[in-house]
Amino acid sequence: MKYSMQTFSPGKFIRQLGISHVELMIAIALVSVVSVTALPGVGRMMERSKVMDTRQQLLTDLNYARNTAVNNYRRIVVCPSNNQQTCNGAANWRKGWIIFQDFDANDQRSRGEPVLRVSQLADGISLTSGQRDHFRFYPDGTAPESSGNLLICITDKPHLGHRLVISKTGRMRTEDYHCR
């Protein structure tokens, strides 16, 4: 800071406070350098947060489906859906998924089968399941024909993601996964 003393009358001084243009430019330069250095880290942190939120939502929905199968003694299916009403019949999870009671045991939602829950995938997140186009939970909580993996990644970026593993017993676990 620059201090200057100016005399306006004999014996009286007035102190002026302020900063020079040079000091202002140095401060702006420092703020710019810090911002440029920190922004990529903030972006990665936000991407990581989206992956974690999707993992938690998916884990919650799959546990809900399993618990509903056990509590209602019904066959429950989780499948990808483009319109939040029917399964899309492919392993394409980009638009989200539905959970429904499968009364006729055909792994597709038919008329009269209630949709129990609908979820959508966040922008910028990819969810893949290999060739698996649905996950099915039986009334005893198992998923013998539906064991598999769901990979949660940032779209088009090699990044640390998550793998959600569903076992034949219907139990689920998550682990870190390096997306390519």
Q: What is the CATH number of domain 4-179?
A: 3.55.40.10
- Copy the structure tokens of residue 85: 């009403």
pLDDT tens digits for 93-137?
A: 989 999 999 999 999 999 999 999 999 988 888 888 888 899 999
Residue 147 contacts residue 171 (beta carbons within 8 Å): no
Pairing of strands 12-16, 4-9: antiparallel
Every domain of the chain and the residues it spans? 4-179
Residue 142 contacts residue 169 (beta carbons within 8 Å): yes
Residue 50 contacts residue 122 (beta carbons within 8 Å): yes
Closest listed residue to residue 134, CA positions, set 168, 98, 170? 98
Residues 44, 40: Cα–Cα separation, whole Å: 6
For every one of its 180 residues, what pLDDT tens digit does the chain have, with 9 covering 90 and above? Answer: 555 555 555 666 666 677 888 888 888 888 888 777 767 777 777 778 888 898 999 999 999 999 999 999 999 999 999 999 999 888 889 899 999 999 999 999 999 999 999 999 888 888 888 888 999 999 999 998 888 899 998 887 777 788 999 999 999 999 988 887
Q: What is the identity of the amino acid at 123?
A: D
Q: What is the identity of the amino acid at 81?
A: S
Query: What sections of the chain are H helices per DSSP?
Result: 21-72
Count CA atoms within 13 Å of residue 76 on its CB side. 26
Q: What pTM did the predictor assign? A: 0.76
Closest listed residue to residue 122, CA positions, set 49, 40, 65? 49
Cα 98 from chain centroid (whole Å): 17
